[in-house]
Chain A
Amino acid sequence: MNINKTLENGKLTFILDGRLDSTTAPRLQDVLIPAFNEGGEVGLDFAQLAYLSSAGLRVLLMALKTAKTKGASMSISGVSQEIMEVFEMTGFSEMLTFT
């Protein structure tokens, strides 16, 4: 998985390309969690993401909890139908914000 980062009008977005699974999720965790220290909104662009497994969900949950304690927020864009099915199956669709 590749992780690219853009900063647009003060909003930081991580663009993920590939698979977010047990091998790659720790790399997302390393860059995403510290990003909430600034407060504000952090975006995730999933348009090029093939799929995510529970290791990816674990990082998203950790990110939601971190955002809450830091007074920041997180939103996800470009979610494919297959990935949305995973979010719905696991109840994550209720917790996440989609743009």
Chain B
Amino acid sequence: MEELFIEAKLENIETVLNFVNARIENCPPRIKTQIGIVVDEILSNISHYAYHPAVGFVVVRISLDSEITIEFEDSGIAYDPISAKDPDITLSAEERDIGGLGLFMVKNLMDSVEYRRDGDYNVFTVKKRVR
């Protein structure tokens, strides 16, 4: 597993995307697109909420065999993204509130998502089969 240790802030999402994309270069374009969305959702969540209003770090680990596994670890406030309530996607534009869509997309785009609280750390792992 390779890892990147970086400050969790929006300006760094591009660096994380480049780190991840370099390791899945030969995967199908559709999967790379889905991974790009997922990285954006998770990193923006951590950047906005984990250490608010301070700034902290996130460790991003990736491995690739028959599936892509990406692990996001932060030492911010305990938060289980899997427990987040799914939004009602049948509402009209007027009735809609955007909350919860990001994690809903993560759960739908990946084959599996797993959360664990490990001491002072949140560890969120997503997996996507590539063949």
Q: Which residues of A does B touch, CB under 8 Å?
A: 19, 21-23, 50-55, 57-58, 61, 64-65, 68, 82, 86, 89-91, 94-95
- Complex Cα spacing A64 to B109, Å: 25
Residue of B nearest to A55 (CB): B44
Count of B interface residues, CB-CB < 8 Å: 30
Contact across chains for B93 and A65 when beta carbons are under 8 A apart = yes
Contact across chains for A61 and B108 when beta carbons are under 8 A apart = no
- Complex Cα spacing A53 to B40, Å: 7
Contact across chains for A51 and B89 when beta carbons are under 8 A apart = no
Inter-chain contacts of B36 with A (CB < 8 A): 19, 21, 50-51, 53
Inter-chain contacts of A94 with B (CB < 8 A): 90
Contact across chains for A54 and B98 when beta carbons are under 8 A apart = yes
Q: Is B30 an interface residue (CB 8 A)?
A: yes
Interface-side segment among B7-15, B62-70, B121-129: B7-15
- Complex Cα spacing A50 to B104, Å: 20
Contact across chains for A58 and B33 when beta carbons are under 8 A apart = no
